[in-house]
Structure 1
Amino acid sequence: MDIQFSLPDAPDGSRHLGQLRDWLRRDRDLRTTSEVSVLPAPPDPEAMGAGLEVLQLILDSSLQLASLAVAIVSWRKANGTRPAMTITRGDVEIRLGSADLEDVSTVLEALERLRDADDAAETGDDEGDGDGGR
């Protein structure tokens, strides 16, 4: 499961993404079952100059989403980093505001919506809204 994170509103997004990368690499539940890297953002044809970086996380299984949600909220609380975050999987993108990122259940729900919406797109399920019937 390939997930990408960006902090489009953070004035120093690259530094914050580097901190998140390091945090996820040290997380006991994620470090042996995931791959974390920082990549250049895809070019935006309407923007001048290079895009911001994105953090890419490849999970072995979607069963790790709960651990990821806890890690994200813990990182934000430990580092005082409060910018909004955009989380992307495939063609599906969810933006979480600062308040959303304070609650593990809200982050987990967003990650599950990403998983379900992208899985539905891969199987060609055009019916429903991709929320897994919840």
Structure 2
Amino acid sequence: MRVRIEVERDSEAGEGAQSLFKWLSADPEVRAGAGLSPVRRAAAPGPMGPVLEAIEAVFDSGVQLASLVVAVAGWRSTRPRRDRVHLTRGDVRVTVDSGDPEAVARVLRALGEGDAPEAGSGGAPADRPGRQDW
């Protein structure tokens, strides 16, 4: 299972994605169950170099997916702005903007369905099939 993780409205320097990558890498349950890779974009010429655009997580079970979603929700709770985080698996894209157990369960159901045209239950469909925002 492959999931792309993006922080909405991240800074030009990719500080939110970098912070989330460090948080996930330090979480023992995520680290033990998922391969995490930074996805970098080319930065403007200058000393900063490539900027972290997203994180790619690869794992093979729903338990590992649950650990990842719980860790993302935990990271959000530490942020002053409560950054929204988008998780994409195949054609399914969900937004983590709450850490309450019901929202986490909806995210897990939606992502667990993979490439289903209408993922999850509850919540309002977003701008294309398979996309849910919570």
What TM-score do you get using the length of structure 2 for normalisation? 0.67
User: Is the Cα–Cα contact under 8 Å of residues 106 and 120 in structure 2 kept in the other structure?
Assistant: no
Indicate the percent of aligned positions where both proteins have the same amino acid: 29
Match of 1:124 in 2: none
User: Is the Cα–Cα contact under 8 Å of residues 17 and 52 in structure 2 kept in the other structure?
Assistant: no
User: Gapped runs of 5+ residues in structure 1?
Assistant: 42-50, 122-128
Give the paired residue count: 113
What SS does structure 2 have at the residue aligned with 1:9? coil
Per-residue CA deviation, residues 24-59 of structure 1 (Å, 9 max, x unaligned), is 111121111111121136xxxxxxxxx971111112
Deviation at 1:22, TM superposition (A): 1.1
Match of 1:67 in 2: 67
Match of 2:80 in 1: 80
Match of 1:113 in 2: 110
Match of 1:101 in 2: 98
User: Is the Cα–Cα contact under 8 Å of residues 6 and 85 in structure 2 kept in the other structure?
Assistant: yes
User: Gapped runs of 5+ residues in structure 2?
Assistant: 42-50, 122-134
What SS does structure 2 have at the residue aligned with 1:11? coil
Match of 2:10 in 1: 10
Instruction: List, as ranges, runs of 4+ consecutive aligned residues in structure 1 with deviation greater than 4 Å.
Output: none
What TM-score do you get using the length of structure 1 for normalisation? 0.67
Per-residue CA deviation, residues 90-111 of structure 1 (Å, 9 max, x unaligned), is 1221234xxx323243133213
Match of 1:29 in 2: 29
Pick which of 13-22 and 30-39 moved more: 13-22
Query: 1:78 and 1:84, CA in 2 relative to 1: closer, same or farther beyond 3 A?
Result: closer
Query: 1:105 and 1:59, CA in 2 relative to 1: closer, same or farther beyond 3 A?
Result: farther
